[in-house]
Amino acid sequence: MWFTDHMLFHYHRCRRRVYLDSYGDTTLKDPPSDYFVKLREDSAEHRQAILAPFAPLHQPIYEKYDWEAGAIATYQMMQAGVETIYRGILITEGPSNVRYRTEPDILVKQPGESWLGDWYYVPYNVKLGKKPKPEYQLVAAFNAYILAEVQGVWPETAWLFLKEKQCAVNLERYVPKLQEALDDCLDINDGVLTNSEPPEVFISRSRCDMCPWLGYCYSEAKAQNHLSLLPGVTKKRYPDLVEIGITTVEALAKAQPTQLAYLLAVEQRVTEKMIFQAQANWTGSAVPLLRGSTSARNNNTFPLTLDHVPTTDIELYFDIEAAPDKDLIYLHGVLVVNNQTGSETFHALVAETPDQEETAWFEFLALVNSYPHAPIYHFCPYEAQTVRRLADLYGNGGVNIDYLLGRFVDIHKRVVDAVALPVESYALKHLARWMGFEWRDEDANGAQSICWYGDWLRTGDRTYLNTILRYNEDDCQATYRVKDWLVNFAQPFWQSESL
Ligand code: SF4
């Protein structure tokens, strides 16, 4: 059996993934999304640009999938002492019938003693990420380990070329982690890959979103009503819950917060929130997060006041679209709601080409400044952070940015502070859909809009741009819907408090 650099990479993100990649029914995998394809293309482009200065690159020639032949061709190049080897194949023996295989982006020749002569090689991998993520470093350590087995000497380090910098991997730190990972995967009695069943499913949006097994894993989690579908139950906290016998949403909904806090060794406010969340999902209805509602029942207070979600004659709903690959903000969408006339007007301040980012920024400032007292609702901190950044970059156009940001209201924060909802995530899509809102384009999302903007720049086809504008307007409308829902939900609490 092969154990490869790709398997190690995915193992670090999810133990179940490495099992499914090895033994799962591939017909159950999701097709790659446009965004995934784009990332793969961007990554290949980035690799080409980074490796250009190393030309000429020598690449071993072998029949596709004939790894043995690839390893022999690579070793012959190493023996010949070529300066740089592109995508060489390195193989060594692992435990029992396992063989380790890796494919570093390049191997670069260095002076020094080895089995090859008075030179040896150092491995480099190219990654599109900005930071040296642990999985990158683990794979780099794997490269160094197999290379040491092949050439008879350890490279002093393994290198990562990242988006903006080059980074040396600390092998003293990562080789022991590598050993742990290999043991966990390959242990003859209880390794991930030697077991007959995959590791338990655990849906974590940040980790699973780009995984081709998401559809399959999600339906399994759904069928089990798995606790990982409950916001707040993290991968770290889940084993502790299982250990004390809480394995279902119902059990968590009925738990006692003081006792649970004691058993989990966390603050009571944490367990209160988890229990409220479980109650919301179990009953299918919204649960207010009343302060002291479980510990001091006579002292219930609703955490939001009218000032937290101001309702005024004019309200603005704001959403940005960005292209992180181009370091670009290409759309400021603003929905102007006039509560007196009942009118709603959407403004799309768009950079049709990347060099129009600055113009779109000043158009945005002019628009929001023309409603100097209107609250500006947005979802999550990104909009506020971006406004601050663009002001630093291009200037404030005479607008007081501190005052402007003082008008911003993060409706996501208001919701999570005030209420537990029967949703799997507090992302805008999940919240607004639960409240009955639907996007006109069912498949639209932030990642897809990045692809559409790229398509618009490449083809000039306005359909792409118009689809983005429609999606952005719907995001603003959804934010408006969430705000409206929250105000309606809060009304009875405000009325009872004012009595
Ligand atoms: S969807 Fe999530 S749980 Fe399933 S294999 Fe992928 S990362 Fe792991």
Q: From the CA of 213, how far away is ligand 1's center (Å)? A: 6
Name every residue whose Cβ is closer than 8 Å to that of residue 255 and which is 6 or more positions away in sequence: 246, 271, 275, 278
Whether the predicted pLDDT of 295 surpasses 70: no
Secondary structure class of 376 (helix, strand, coil): strand
- Ligand 1 closest atom vs CA 202: 3
**Mean pLDDT, residues 183-206 taken together:** 93
pLDDT at 298 exceeding the cut of 50: no
- CA-CA distance, 351 to 324, in Å (whole number)? 14
Identify any residues that bridge with 158 across adjacent strands, giving them in sequence order. Answer: 169
Whether the predicted pLDDT of 182 surpasses 70: yes
Asked if 286 and 422 touch (Cβ cutoff 8 Å), the reply is yes
Share of the chain above pLDDT 70, in %: 97
Q: Which class for 190: exposed (0-12), middle (13-18), buried (19 or more C-beta within 10 A)? A: exposed
- Report the residue among 15, 29, 214 best suited for mutation to probe ligand 1: largest number of ligand atoms under 8 A from its CB: 214
- Cβ atoms of 111 and 135 within 8 Å: the answer is no
Q: Using the predicted structure, report yes or no on whether residue 206 has a pLDDT greater than 90.
A: no
In degrees rounded to 5, what are phi and psi of residue 219?
Answer: -65, -35
Q: Is 200 exposed, middle or buried (0-12, 13-18, 19+ CB in 10 A)?
A: middle
Q: What is the pLDDT of residues 401-437, one digit of tens each?
A: 999 999 999 999 999 999 999 999 999 999 999 999 9
Cα of 227 to ligand 1 centre, how many Å? Answer: 15
- In the prediction, which pLDDT does 325 show? 85
Probe ligand 1: pick from 211, 227, 229, max atoms within 8 Å of CB?
Answer: 211
pLDDT digit string, tens, across residues 303-359: 899 899 999 999 999 999 999 888 999 999 999 999 999 999 999 999 999 999 999
Atom of ligand 1 minimally distant from the CA of 201: 3
pLDDT in tens, 257-269: 999 999 999 999 9
408 alpha carbon to ligand 1 midpoint, in Å?
36
pLDDT given for residue 494 in this prediction: 86
Per-residue model confidence as pLDDT tens digits over 227-248: 999 999 999 999 999 999 999 9
Average pLDDT over residues 69-80: 98
Q: CB of 483 within 8 A of CB of 309?
A: yes
d(CA 444, CA 276): 31
pLDDT of residue 495: 81
Q: What is the mean pLDDT of residues 54-63?
A: 92
Rounded to an integer, the average pLDDT of 138-148 is 98
Specify the 3-state DSSP secondary structure of 264: helix
Rounded CA-CA distance 328/74 in Å is 41
Residue with tokens 């990420």: 129
Q: For residue 499, what pLDDT is reported? A: 58
What are the helix (H) ranges across 355-439?
357-369, 382-394, 401-406, 411-418, 428-434
pLDDT of residue 498: 63
Residue 365 confidence (pLDDT): 98
Q: 3-state SS of 447-491?
A: HHHHHHHHHHHHHCCHHHHHHHHHHHHHHHHHHHHHHHHHHHHHH
Residue whose CA lies nearest to ligand 1 atom number 1? 214
- Res 297 pLDDT > 70: no
Q: How many other CB atoms are there within 10 angstroms of residue 182's CB atom? A: 20
- Whether the CB-CB separation of 336 and 314 falls below 8 Å is answered with yes
C-alpha span between 95 and 333 (Å, rounded): 57
- Residue nearest to ligand 1 atom 7, measured at CA: 208
**Ligand 1 pocket residue status of 444, Cβ below 6 Å:** no
Angle between helix 268-283 and helix 257-264 axes, rounded to 10 deg: 120
Asked whether residue 292 carries a pLDDT value surpassing 80, the answer given is no
Q: Is the CB of 16 under 6 A from ligand 1?
A: yes
Q: What is the pLDDT of residue 73?
A: 98
**3-state DSSP assignment of residue 430:** helix
Ligand 1: centre distance to CA 421 (Å): 24
Ligand 1: atom nearest CA of 207 is 7
Does ligand 1 come within 6 angstroms of the Cβ of 217? Answer: yes
Contacts of 463 (CB under 8 A, 6+ apart): none
Contact by Cβ (8 Å): 313, 457: no
Q: Confidence band (pLDDT; 50, 70, 90) for 164?
A: confident
Q: What is the CA radius of gyration of the chain?
A: 27
The answer to whether residue 109 scores a pLDDT higher than 80 is: yes
CA distances from 367 to 5, 179, 215, 316, 427 (A): 51, 58, 42, 10, 27
- pLDDT digits over 461-473, tens only? 999 999 999 999 9
- Residue 91 Cβ inside 6 Å of ligand 1? The answer reads no
Q: What is the mean pLDDT of residues 119-147?
A: 96
- Please tell me if the CB atom of residue 18 comes closer than 6 angstroms to any atom of ligand 1: no
Alpha-carbon distance 9 to 137, whole Å?
Answer: 9
Average pLDDT for the chain: 94
Task: Assign 3-state DSSP to the chain and report helix, strand, coil percentages, each to 5.
Answer: 50, 15, 35
